[in-house]
Amino acid sequence: MKILPSPCLVLGAALCLATATTALAQGNDLSVGRKMLMEDNPGELWIDQGKTLFMQKRGPKNVSLEQCDFGFGPGKLEGAAARLPRYFADTDRVEDLESRLLTCMTTLQGFDRKELIKKAISPAASSGSDMEALALYVTSRSNGMKVNVALNHQKEYDMYKAGEYLFYRRSGQTDFGCVQCHGEADKRIRLQDLVHMTSKQGAQEVASTWPAYRGAHYVVRTMQWRLNDCVWQMRLPDLKYATDYSIALTMFLNRQGNDAVMQAPGFKR
């Protein structure tokens, strides 16, 4: 396959990318192009931005997020994201990364929940939202560690079972279920590979690569964005940010993806 034709060397990276994209559009193996781009992932830039936001004293209460507990105790980030979603006693809920960030940004920093949600998903080609940068920073602190979602608490188990049910359930005017697009190997829609999530490998890819840099949008995207986009493809009502529907699906997928090695940000088309 001609992914890197010789003009690349002469004419520089931009043209090279354009040529590679054309080659891909002609029906070659899309995953090769994706791997090529992985080596120079612009999403890395958001990690530092997220770190700055995390350490900064912000919000009406003028405090940083350093006391936020992601499950291993206040401020302990190493490996914490690899264990999410999980049950939190202080809220008596199972929370995913983004709902936990919302919890800390409202309780510790005093931000308004509705305002945070309004801005959580940034417009394409923007500099991204605080939530996107924070989610990536926190996740990056689990890089190199294994996904390890447990079902110890009854509410964790119930959330997992709800996610499993929702994954297979067909609903809406098009009668679509996640499983129809993501339940078989080698499926494509338009030119996009669909991850085969009922396989261990596919679930592991999902569990270990989000938040991810989305090439088509020039920003880092989170799992909440991804699920909302799929719900839209199913012509269901918009997914409300950080609600149980999304947490349940994330719980199901991440648990299936246990033992994958975390490597955020992923790079997606």
Between 138 and 178, name the residue whose CB sits nearer to ligand HEC: 178
106 binds ligand HEC (CB under 6 A): no
d(CA 3, CA 7): 11
Backbone dihedral region of 190: left (phi > 0), alpha (psi from -120 to 50 degrees) or beta? left
Between 64 and 198, name the residue whose CB sits nearer to ligand HEC: 198
Q: In this structure, what token pair is assigned to residue 50?
A: 């997220």
Which residues, other chains included, contact 205 with Cβ-Cβ below 8 Å and sequence gap of 6+?
Answer: 195, 257, 260, 266
Catalytic residue among 8, 68, 181, 230: 230
Site residues for ligand HEC, 198-257, by CB under 6 A, read 205-206, 209, 226-227, 230-231, 233-234, 249, 253
23 binds ligand HEC (CB under 6 A): no
Between 116 and 249, name the residue whose CB sits nearer to ligand HEC: 249
Closest residue to ligand HEC, judged by C-beta, is 178
CB of 192 to ligand HEC, least distance (A): 4
d(CA 149, CA 158): 14
Which residues, other chains included, contact 101 with Cβ-Cβ below 8 Å and sequence gap of 6+?
Answer: 65, 68, 131, 134, 135, 138
d(CA 180, CA 182): 6
Between 23 and 105, name the residue whose CB sits nearer to ligand HEC: 23
8 binds ligand HEC (CB under 6 A): no
**Nearest CA among 36, 44, 4 for reference residue 22:** 4
Residues near ligand HEC, by CB under 6 A: 167, 176, 178, 180-182, 189, 192-195, 205-206, 209, 226-227, 230-231, 233-234, 249, 253, 268-269
